[in-house]
Structure 1
Amino acid sequence: MWIRQANDTFRFPVFPASFEINSKAIVNTSNVLKTGEIAVFGGAGLRTTEISSFFPKNDEASYCDYTGFPTPYDCVNKIQKWMNEGFILRFTVTETNINMEVIIDSFKYEEKDCTGDVYFTLSLKEYKRIQIPKLNSVSTNTNLSSSKDVPITKGFETKKQRTHKVVKGDNLWSLSQKYYGNGDLYEKIVEANKELIKTADIIKEGWVLTIP
């Protein structure tokens, strides 16, 4: 079970005991003279899901799906940030048909049993992109020629800035080759990190460089 925001991917360390996807149809009712009440289909409603699990303090416990995940409150802080900033997230559950854009509707957490584990309930609501009609600039009539998907909150597709933490053996040419497929484009990295890089052929281990 994963949530992704741009290049920031979070995998839940403990898979919930159960989860469900709630979906519904929008049905509008009206009263028609001499006919009575009628129902009109208004489209599909937004899907929702609620996840209840916990962030364990011990990442080597047998019930953990993997090791090396963040501490419980690092997990809490990440989810709260995504909720407070209104990010569009990609929610996926492998080996299922669940793969959709969502926003966080609510998030609550607590500690109990003095274990250091943090129990949480996370509510997600499906996000649908609106379509803004675009006028044909060539034609003078009022026909709409095309439309464009536009996110109405901060989107995971709009945040494209990358970073790289310098490790032993890195150099600007190798980073340019890694990210652009061409080592000769290293000057793009230099330009984006002018506050750190004073000499074009010197980068230091531990630096976090912006990769434009």
Structure 2
Amino acid sequence: MESSNQLVCVVDDDAGIREALSSLLRAHGKSVLSFDSGKEFLESVQWDALACLVLDMRMPGMNGLEVQEQVTDNSHASIVFITGRNDVPSTVRAMKSGAVDFLTKPISENALIRAVDTAIARTQTQRQNAAESAGLRALYETLTPREQELLPLLAAGMLNKQAADVMGITEITVKVHRGHIMRKMQASSFAALVRQAGQLELEAPST
């Protein structure tokens, strides 16, 4: 399968529509693969390559919502749904599950390209955020248990003396731990450290 992380996959059981959409997307510079069923797509996809899925809602076998569930569980890729008829309950469910758009056939060229570009941009943002979160979590895991215990106390605004009282250690020890935490978390300032703790969703224990 394509290795580009901007790959667009088109899944539709109608060969004519599938080929027309694929050709249109390629004409706009997209890397495209097409599939005639959700099953075929899921058996072939490489999640790290997929950026956008143009997905028919109603197909034999797995329907679009069932495919969407698999994509959501395995990838940050974004979905643009297409359908031959207006189905409000399915539209609501798809959008609540994170679909970028829901286009009704016959599909406007401009609407499709806008939706796919939006989907690719969203996927890139989600992947970047996930990578940053993973990197931050890796830094956090380098902290000792004591440092992990201290970090949320400091981020909650406790003074060194207050944190020392909560942890049952000396204020000097807190200062040493604090320096180690700043270095290991690669925080350029205490404000940056507080932001990192917020991203990690660390909460100080109730006292």
Which one has a larger percent strand, Structure 1 or Structure 2?
Answer: 1
Higher relative contact order (Cα pairs below 8 Å, separated by 6+ residues): 1
TM-score using structure 2 length: 0.24
Which one has a larger percent helix, Structure 1 or Structure 2?
Answer: 2
TM-score using structure 1 length: 0.23
